[in-house]
Structure 1
């Protein structure tokens, strides 16, 4: 899915874009705020304009991908019937106002549905040294290799002495930055168990290096100096003096670069605030995730816009994988029936107990492979209802027959998802630029493989002349 580039926009143009997106989301809030499990109980299909229902009813999944979610050239999109102008305008607006999620100069997808670096081995990135692939899932391999290069370049541009990895988890990014790229890294993680695991993985890597070293200073360009791990929470409300780390190895604090790879919820807000408030932090890279967990909004510029309202559901939708869903539509994946199954189950649950609404029901990791009767039995049992209750077969079959309409409605909501993410990230850019800082939003990862692929890069000086090198081709 492509959209507008954030780079040439002035601050005033960005503010106008935020106004436009807010207006669009206010118009179509009933779609983005809807829970797909309530498709039948709340008659979501009936709330769409009748002209939309006419052209979308029973539309095959590959057609949905081609004419709705994917942004092809006009001559490449063939409509079997004339679409209402309101639906065409809805689609065009959603595509036009969202930031582009297509990385510049990156390779495409290989035959196994993964980035080109996984062509030879679907689990091992060819761009990452095997030492950094151990314990690391393919998606994370792709991410740390790409983000690591940006952090390295940014640290050189801004002359940073130390990188601070916020929410470092098991230390995969920190390990690559320190051992692989030779940076001085401090990794901060709130979960002590993950800190212990990261330290253990560091020791394993050092042991492997020492085994190969045989008296050399480096092995294949890899340093023996690893990251320093700190167990602690980063509070977005805390003053920067409490956040600032003590001097490392007897040195002064120096110039710091903050980074966060998929910093969850308020953690991404903490990065922004400490970047702006701490004089020692001169640069930042932030890849956010879990927008529905955001609670701190007092710094938000868009909060003052007329009609602005981002519900929990809208922010949750923004975390979905639009490109991946389009691939599922193209391939007519059996997993597409999952939403229809769950929406049908919701009617059974509420019929048995109206007080039970929107409950988390995880029947199976492959629920779509079950017959609906088995799925319903497991689901009813999970929520404390009689799994042996007889089903109204005719009613159930009528709902299951509407699977394509469920898929179509969910696709409409997903079409708005990049707009919500754009608005959130746009607000952060405005926040930074109003304080005189330079920033840029870069689509870095393959969006089909790593959906949260937009990295917000910021610096207090010296970034503009080198922006193009940060997002350059491999």
Structure 2
């Protein structure tokens, strides 16, 4: 196997080293939690000239700082702050279109109506884009067999099988989700039988404008669903573990093990935590896997050194990053990398009232610690439409969730009022933290890219989804053969003009697809830094 050109590998190694140096310079900022803003005096830790400039900067000026535009009135930034922002932007991987107010995703008319059932518009966008990439990989490698790992409710698997005619095995560790996926398959097959399989014709919906690019008819061959967990530390042939909860029948045969010489493609859409690096390790070890396409999620669930013998960490993977001093990433840093910078920039640009929730949570944390010093960053469940409430109303809902009586906590004191008057400082501080978030994601993904390059594989990182509503939009593609034919013209598959503003109706029913676990900074969601400890390894993050 021919190794990639040395200059490319060296360039990526230098980029990783530069990112680590920059993160090391601003480690206190990266490891800080905005929840502690008042309780730990985070504003005072910023350089005095930064404080003076940020204290008077309106939210739109902060948005321009994050994006690199002109500061405008009231934003005469210190050179050191400009250099910090410019370096962070320059070292992060490009993420495609950014800026502006987030637009809500609409129904994807390039997906067959039967494949839009139970699927939120955001997921429709993702499965269509990733599915088309996998179709290109299939054509380039001569493999029509795909293993979808962490398949959830099977939305991607259904598109690959019914929509693109690929042979698909869907692996999911939650037996309940696997059963739901099979139920959705049966519903689709029954509907195909009613409509007549050859053209999948159905009566047109009244007043519906026909799409410019109608989707092709569906095939009657669905995916095969295999409930089972994947063990990151196990040998390739023993990769599959019993599902949770265990099923009543015998253990399923591992679709990633002995394949009778058949080659396959492996994919994971928002494969959580250690699952993404595990897929890359097994791709590297198994000649049966011709290519892999991985979209990561939930970086805070990655395992890091030290690990028990025989259990390699999820980060770092590559020899290059492992050898760099200061490469370690705290849980807080990895959690920050999961936030939606583009969505946050959109709220800054419009001065959205939802920004006040970050100040509310920081003020609440100060009151919690005053009432019970043993509590630090307790998990306060999301208060719906918190930004539309007064702070006392918000606190009366939040305090009982951490075992405190609101009647015993002063909610209208002068101290609380002084904290609430500093909302603009809280938002400015959070903006600096989120400016570093794409750098952390870049370092994690660059580590995976270097791991593959070090072994001579052909690989690329592609911003495949629209980051405005799909924040984890970078897909890592790796193959044993050159990827030129796969990547050439990929931008031609863009979704511009494909989405309509029609309501969901029967075709776009989204009621059974869980909310995304990746978009931590959605309006009204819990502020960054809520969690004290990582979730259980291997826990699911987002039904597919």
TM (norm. structure 1) is 0.90
Which one has the bigger helix percentage? Answer: 1
* 2:95 counterpart (97, 101, 116): 101
**Which SS does the other structure have where 1:388 is aligned?**
helix
Q: Which residue is equivalent to 1:449?
A: 469
Q: Does the CA-based 8 Å contact 1:26-1:309 persist in structure 2?
A: no
Q: Does the CA-based 8 Å contact 1:438-1:458 persist in structure 2?
A: yes
Q: 1:111 to 1:420 in 2, by over 3 A?
A: closer
Q: Which residue is equivalent to 1:70?
A: 67
Q: Does the CA-based 8 Å contact 1:61-1:330 persist in structure 2?
A: yes
Alignment pair present for 1:287 and 2:295: yes
Alignment pair present for 1:202 and 2:185: yes
* 2:378 counterpart (340, 356, 359): 359
Q: Which residue is equivalent to 1:463?
A: 483
Alpha-carbon distance in structure 1 between the residues aligned to 2:18 and 2:350: 34
Q: Which residue is equivalent to 2:537?
A: none
Alpha-carbon distance in structure 2 between the residues aligned to 1:387 and 1:262: 39
TM (norm. structure 2) is 0.79
**Which SS does the other structure have where 2:406 is aligned?**
coil
Q: 1:274 to 1:386 in 2, by over 3 A?
A: same
- Kindly provide the CA deviation profile for residues 203-248 of structure 1, in whole angstroms up to 9, marking residues without a partner as x: 011111111116x376642100000000011111111122386579
**Which SS does the other structure have where 2:300 is aligned?**
helix
Q: 1:369 to 1:473 in 2, by over 3 A?
A: same
Alignment pair present for 1:83 and 2:77: yes
Q: Which residue is equivalent to 1:33?
A: 31
Q: Which residue is equivalent to 1:265?
A: 273
Equivalent positions of 1:152-167 (< 5 A) are 152-167=135-150
Equivalent positions of 1:273-422 (< 5 A) are 273-295=281-303, 296=313, 297=315, 299-301=317-319, 302-362=321-381, 364-389=383-408, 390-391=410-411, 393-422=413-442
Q: 1:293 to 1:90 in 2, by over 3 A?
A: same
Alpha-carbon distance in structure 1 between the residues aligned to 2:383 and 2:188: 36
- Kindly provide the CA deviation profile for residues 103-143 of structure 1, in whole angstroms up to 9, marking residues without a partner as x: 6xxxx99998135xx3xxxxx22222111110001110110
**Which SS does the other structure have where 1:226 is aligned?**
coil
1:71 offset after TM fit, Å? 3.0
1:160 offset after TM fit, Å? 1.1
Alpha-carbon distance in structure 2 between the residues aligned to 1:430 and 1:456: 11
Q: Does the CA-based 8 Å contact 1:37-1:339 persist in structure 2?
A: yes
**Which SS does the other structure have where 2:218 is aligned?**
coil
Alignment pair present for 1:235 and 2:254: no
Instruction: Flag structure 2 segments of 5+ consecutive residues without an equivalent.
Output: 202-215, 241-252, 304-312, 495-544
Q: Does the CA-based 8 Å contact 2:99-2:345 persist in structure 1?
A: no
Alignment pair present for 1:147 and 2:137: no
Alignment pair present for 1:186 and 2:169: yes
Q: Does the CA-based 8 Å contact 2:457-2:479 persist in structure 1?
A: yes
1:274 offset after TM fit, Å? 1.0
**Which SS does the other structure have where 2:488 is aligned?**
helix
Alpha-carbon distance in structure 2 between the residues aligned to 1:202 and 1:225: 10
Alpha-carbon distance in structure 2 between the residues aligned to 1:247 and 1:99: 34
Alpha-carbon distance in structure 2 between the residues aligned to 1:363 and 1:424: 28
Q: Size of the alignment, in residue pairs?
A: 451
Alpha-carbon distance in structure 1 between the residues aligned to 2:373 and 2:266: 48
**Which SS does the other structure have where 1:37 is aligned?**
helix
* 2:104 counterpart (108, 111, 114): 114
Q: Does the CA-based 8 Å contact 1:38-1:346 persist in structure 2?
A: yes
Q: Which residue is equivalent to 2:12?
A: 14
Alpha-carbon distance in structure 1 between the residues aligned to 2:421 and 2:7: 46
Q: Does the CA-based 8 Å contact 1:174-1:227 persist in structure 2?
A: yes
Q: Which residue is equivalent to 2:53?
A: 55
Q: Which residue is equivalent to 2:542?
A: none
